[in-house]
């Protein structure tokens, strides 16, 4: 197994657009030829687009874009930009009088950083699509990770800056990668060492604290938990998958969240994972599930380590030698 650039996965183009001052952005993951897709939504507070059609019982078998965005539910408008971009290029489901691009998406809550009135819109979504495939997609404070933060159980005062991460590998002919915007209520644990690398700050903000420990101490309290979190990501692969298998793979990939985010899938998170498969290489579904778990976990850590301090928030780089 060797690490590759996520841009090396054939048939997939990724592009970012962001408003750094506003503290938000979006990330387009495009497959013009159509990708077999699935999704699994685990968190209790999701903002999502076109997830219902990914159920195996429904007609559509392929999608053309996944749009990850900030802006909470307002940010779902970025998907309209992808619709326009793809329609202009004749990409979509042929309905006889034209094409209908199938654009799925999910948004995270980043309204507490930057400008709360600045949200990804149709124009920003279109811009993200225009940049797709032109350069290696960046990490950290870019795209859907521009305003991402973590460690929010005690509110904005003790949270940290996070970001967007990618990680991809090739094993034989199989390519598998993950792209994820890390915006969790909880803390982030390093995949290799098992040590916390970012999350809730100590009271004096000079070190890291443990969200789980704080939650346990308050187990009898009804705290008004700071809401609006959500980690959103996508597994992309060249493996041949059915729609059923893509949905199952999305479910398994949440193990990558569980290995690196603590706690995960809370009522204040809308944790969502999509899968996009270009269908080129035969694969063992169980082996691919294990691989997807690892690349997602490593993408989460990569996004956190790449994040820069911003909006008055410290980042992992302030505590780690990166």
Tell me: the pLDDT tens digits for 3-34?
999 999 999 999 999 999 999 999 999 999 99
Q: Could you tell me the pLDDT band of residue 321, with boundaries at 50, 70 and 90? A: low
Residue 158 token pair: 């003790």
Read off the pLDDT of each residue in 91-116 and give the average, rounded to a whole number: 95
Read off the pLDDT of each residue in 35-50 and give the average, rounded to a whole number: 90
DSSP secondary structure code for residue 205 in this structure: S
Q: How far apart are CA 308 and CA 96, in angstroms?
A: 48
Backbone angles phi, psi at 313, to 5 degrees: -105, 140
Q: Could you tell me the pLDDT band of residue 97, with boundaries at 50, 70 and 90? A: very high
Q: How far apart are CA 98 and CA 134, in angstroms?
A: 27
Q: Could you tell me the pLDDT band of residue 264, with boundaries at 50, 70 and 90? A: very high
Predicted local distance difference test score (pLDDT) of residue 88: 98
- Cβ 30 vs Cβ 65: under 8 Å: yes
Q: How far apart are CA 104 and CA 178, in angstroms?
A: 16
Q: CATH no. for residue 195?
A: 3.60.70.12
Cα-based angle 147, 149, 151 (whole degrees, multiple of 5): 165
- Cβ 143 vs Cβ 17: under 8 Å: yes
Predicted local distance difference test score (pLDDT) of residue 224: 66
Cis peptide bond N-terminal to 263, omega within 30: yes
Q: How far apart are CA 5 and CA 3, in angstroms?
A: 7
pLDDT at 275 over 60: yes
Residue 166 token pair: 């990618």
Query: What is the extent of the structural domain holding 167?
Result: 2-318
Read off the pLDDT of each residue in 237-247 and give the average, rounded to a whole number: 97
Among candidates 48, 19, 26, 15, which has minimal Cα distance to 118? 19
Neighbouring CB atoms inside 10 A of 93's CB total 16
Predicted local distance difference test score (pLDDT) of residue 226: 61
How are beta strands 149-150 and 62-69 bridged, if at all? unpaired
Q: E strand or H helix at 68, and its extent?
A: strand 62-69
How are beta strands 174-181 and 24-41 bridged, if at all? unpaired
pLDDT at 72 over 90: yes
Predicted local distance difference test score (pLDDT) of residue 184: 95
Intra-chain end-to-end CA distance of the chain, in Å? 24
Predicted local distance difference test score (pLDDT) of residue 104: 98
Q: Could you tell me the pLDDT band of residue 227, with boundaries at 50, 70 and 90? A: low
Q: How far apart are CA 322 and CA 103, in angstroms?
A: 36
Predicted local distance difference test score (pLDDT) of residue 144: 98
CA distances from residue 317 to 139, 245, 311, 321, 322 in whole angstroms, order as listed = 14, 38, 15, 7, 6
- Cβ 190 vs Cβ 175: under 8 Å: no
- Cβ 8 vs Cβ 45: under 8 Å: no
pLDDT at 320 over 90: no
In the chain, the number of structural domains is: 1
Predicted local distance difference test score (pLDDT) of residue 53: 94
Residues of the chain with pLDDT > 90, as a percent, come to: 89
Predicted local distance difference test score (pLDDT) of residue 268: 80
Average pLDDT of the chain, as a whole number:
95
259: Cα separation from own chain's centroid: 16
pLDDT at 322 over 60: no
Backbone angles phi, psi at 303, to 5 degrees: -65, -40
Read off the pLDDT of each residue in 69-93 and give the average, rounded to a whole number: 97
């Amino acid at each position: 197994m060797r690490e590759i650039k996520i841009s090396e996965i054939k048939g997939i183009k990724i592009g970012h657009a962001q408003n750094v001052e506003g503290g938000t952005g979006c990330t387009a993951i495009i497959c013009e030829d159509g990708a077999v897709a699935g999704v699994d939504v685990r968190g209790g507070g999701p903002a999502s687009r076109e997830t219902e059609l990914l159920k195996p019982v429904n007609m559509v078998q392929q999608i053309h874009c996944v749009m990850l965005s900030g802006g909470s539910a307002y940010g779902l408008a970025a998907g309209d930009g992808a619709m326009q971009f793809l329609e202009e290029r004749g990409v979509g489901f042929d309905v006889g009088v034209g094409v209908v691009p199938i654009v799925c998406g999910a948004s995270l809550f980043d309204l507490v950083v930057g400008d709360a009135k600045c949200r990804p819109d149709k124009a920003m979504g279109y811009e993200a699509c225009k940049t797709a495939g032109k350069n290696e997609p960046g990490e950290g404070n870019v795209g859907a990770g521009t305003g991402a933060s973590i460690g929010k159980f005690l509110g904005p005062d003790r949270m940290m800056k996070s970001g967007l991460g990618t990680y991809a590998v090739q094993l034989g002919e199989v390519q598998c990668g993950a792209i994820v915007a890390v915006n969790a209520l909880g803390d982030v644990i390093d995949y290799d060492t098992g040590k916390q690398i970012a999350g809730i700050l100590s009271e004096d903000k000079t070190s890291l604290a443990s969200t789980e420990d704080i939650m346990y101490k308050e187990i009898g309290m009804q705290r008004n938990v700071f809401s609006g979190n959500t980690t959103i990501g996508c597994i992309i692969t060249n493996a041949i998958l059915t729609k059923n298998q893509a949905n199952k793979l999305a479910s398994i990939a949440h193990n990558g969240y569980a290995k690196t985010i603590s706690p995960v899938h809370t009522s204040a998170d809308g944790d969502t994972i999509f899968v996009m498969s270009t269908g080129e290489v035969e694969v063992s579904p169980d082996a691919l599930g294990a691989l997807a778990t690892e690349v997602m976990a490593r993408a989460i850590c990569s996004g956190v380590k790449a994040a820069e301090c911003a909006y008055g928030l410290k980042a992992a780089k302030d505590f780690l030698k990166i």
